[in-house]
Chains A and B, each alone.
Chain A
Amino acid sequence: MIKLSPKLSQRLSYTILFLATLLAIIPVSAIIFTIIKNGASAITWEFLTAMPKNGMHGGGILPAILGTLSIVTCTIVITLPIGVCAAIYLNEYAKDNLLTRIIKLAIINLAGVPSVVYGLFGLGIFVMFLKLDVSIIAGALTLSIMELPVIITTSRSALNSVPYSFREASLSLGVSRWQTIRYIVLPNALPGILTGAILSISRISGETAPVLFTAAAFSVPHLPHSIFDQVMVLPYHLYIISTQIPNMPKNIIFGTALVLLMMVLTMSFIAIVARIYFRKRRKW
């Protein structure tokens, strides 16, 4: 083997590392670019605001958009308060004991459960056992459990970043523990918690497997009326029209993918900008 001089070998290695980084980034950009390039022509006012026509070969995707929005709203309303409370418990109350360790292990495990397993669990417990049927609420409950570990983790790191001296100052004035959390810790952690929530919303919007058997319907002829309705959702709709329906016009499929992608990316973008903004404004 040829022995390279240390300098040359460093330069060579750096180049390889740089190329690897490019390889990691290019696919994402390529996916986004492909969708935008092919989907942009499909986006019209009608596409966003009309019902599907001719067996989904024409018209718009309004029911799928509204379906996704309603499931996401329900999910975040359920999961955010629970997740934030759990984070408060772990960060402010929990002692370093066996129970805390088990909770942490449970959170790690929940985060790793495959999404389709959540779907099956939701089908078994919410749809069948609790008889909620295939509905927005059954889907939202399923997604809530799935998103809980993410909300707990992000909220916890937001709470953790509030300096300990803030709590000490408040407690030393005779304020109770909960009052301290309520008026001192939470307000300071709020930006971090909200950023995490927005990222979660973005993630939930794109999930297919958990709603497959709990909320999503192939086609619903009307817009959702109540949380006990079945709904069309964007990710499932995209799956259906791209794999199950023959001779779908390509630009409708790309258009649907683009709408979904834009919803998800806009939210991620807002979260990233918010994170940078609040980090700059932080008072400590």
Chain B
Amino acid sequence: MRKIIDTTIETIIFICGILSIIFVVLIFGFLFKEGFAFFKSFGIIEFITGRFWYPTSNTPSFGIFPFIIGSILVTVGACIIAVPIGVMTALYISEVAPKGIRDVLKSAVELMTAIPSVVVGFVGMVTLVPFIRTLFNIPTGLTAFSGSIMLAFMAMPTIVTISEDAMRSVPWQYKEGALALGATKWQTIRRIVLKAAMPGVIAAIMLGVGRVIGETMTVMMITGNSARIPLSIFEPVRTMTAVVAAEMGETVRGGMHYKSLFAIALVLFLITFIINFIADLFLGKNKNK
């Protein structure tokens, strides 16, 4: 009897174990099915390089190029802000900060992940957006730049925690070796710790990028949702995620517009898949040391 119970439970556990694979395949399959149907009637090249998004016009046009540019612009902007600050914060927490406040600092950085993205978007809308408008004297503060700033804060915890882990796992012999040769602590940090932790830091940055590209509510609320190709970072943009979230509610289920949004989701899925895959390779590299 006990044997039967054991086997049954172990079978259930095994099924739960492989469920993740099933879900990934299901998600990909589902997006692919709808996306593929779309690409059959609207070319994939035209879809990616098209400059015009008129999904509901009589002769509809589904060019997502402006949204790709929008996503890239916001992401690059966020990285320029978040990467230096994030890596320096990680260095401070892992190498410089006194032991007592290390955990406090780490928790404070992690607190940001707890704040829902709508709340971040809302606060950005009422504080940052008007500030940007008056500061740069532009017609609207709903710009790619505002989005980059808010997203930089949201990517920060990922970058800080993962790089900090990598820095902390640098073998102490490396540091002692450098110090024994007469290097100052800072020289050791910069030349030894940072270098040895580099794969982990790169992984952290990639995961941060993945987070920024996938972020939806915040960008929808503060980047202005303009479907035009932006000429500078101080213009409104629309990201791929924002298009999907903003337009899904108005589509006819099963229609071309509906399918085109699945095609965008498919593009997003593939981008994040590649990013996470590469990040994982870098993390693996760090562990093998």
Q: Which residues of A contact B (CB under 8 A)?
A: 6-7, 9-10, 13-14, 16-18, 20-21, 23-25, 27-29, 31-32, 34-35, 81-83, 85-86, 88-90, 93-94, 99, 102-103, 105-121, 123-125, 128, 145, 148-149, 152, 176-179, 202-203, 205-209, 212-213, 235-236, 238-239, 242-243, 250, 253, 257, 260-261, 264-265, 268, 272
Contacts and interface: CB of A to CB of B under 8 A. Distances in A.
What's the dominant secondary structure at chain B's contact region?
Answer: helix
Contact of A120 (B31, B89, B91, B123): B31
Interface string B244-268: 1100110001000000011001001
Contacts of A268: 111, 114
Contacts of A111: 276
B160 A24 contact: yes
Nearest to B12: A85
Interface stretch (B37-45, B53-61, B80-88, B228-236): B80-88
B117 A206 contact: yes
A148 B84 contact: no
A207 B116 contact: yes
Given A202-B114, A239-B221, A121 B27 contact: yes
| Best-buried of A17, A103, A116, A257 by chain B (most CB within 10 Å) | A116
A148 B20 contact: yes
Which 6 pairs, one residue from A and one from B, show the smallest C-beta to C-beta distance?
A206-B116, A114-B214, A89-B17, A85-B16, A20-B88, A10-B186
A17 B221 contact: no
A238 B122 contact: yes
Contacts of B249: 212-213
Given A24-B85, A120-B261, A120-B265, 18 more contacts: A6-B186, A9-B184, A14-B96, A17-B88, A24-B89, A24-B109, A24-B160, A34-B127, A109-B24, A110-B23, A110-B24, A115-B214, A116-B268, A117-B269, A178-B9, A208-B117, A242-B121, A264-B115
A33 to B, nearest CB: 10
Contacts of B184: 6-7, 9-10
B196 interface: no
B187 interface: yes
Contacts of A115: 214, 216
A20 B92 contact: yes
A81 B12 CA distance: 11
B217 interface: yes
Contacts of A264: 114-116
A212 B142 CA distance: 22
B2 interface: yes
A16 B273 contact: no
A169 to B, nearest CB: 19
B107 interface: yes
A242 B221 contact: yes
Contacts of B127: 34
A114 B96 CA distance: 35
Nearest to A7: B184
What's the dominant secondary structure at chain A's contact region?
Answer: helix
Given A89-B13, A89-B17, A235-B118, A21 B248 contact: no
23 contacts: A13-B186, A14-B96, A21-B105, A25-B108, A28-B109, A28-B115, A35-B123, A89-B13, A89-B17, A103-B17, A108-B280, A109-B272, A110-B20, A112-B214, A115-B216, A119-B244, A120-B261, A176-B6, A203-B113, A209-B216, A209-B245, A235-B116, A242-B221
A212 B245 contact: yes
B147 interface: no
Contact of A31 (B14, B34, B86, B123): B123
A212 B119 contact: no
A37 to B, nearest CB: 11
B89 A21 contact: yes
A242 B217 contact: no
Contacts of A208: 116-118, 216-217
A140 B70 CA distance: 31
Contacts of A9: 184, 186
A253 B123 CA distance: 11
A278 B237 CA distance: 47
Contacts of A177: 6, 10
B56 to A, nearest CB: 18
Nearest to A100: B17
Contacts of B195: none
A212 B108 contact: no
Contact of A27 (B112, B117, B268): B112
Contacts of A93: 10, 13-14, 17
Given A119-B245, A202-B114, A105 B85 contact: no
A112 B275 contact: yes
B277 interface: yes
A258 B74 CA distance: 27
Nearest to B245: A116
Contacts of B92: 14, 17-18, 20-21
A85 B277 contact: no
A246 to B, nearest CB: 14
A38 to B, nearest CB: 8
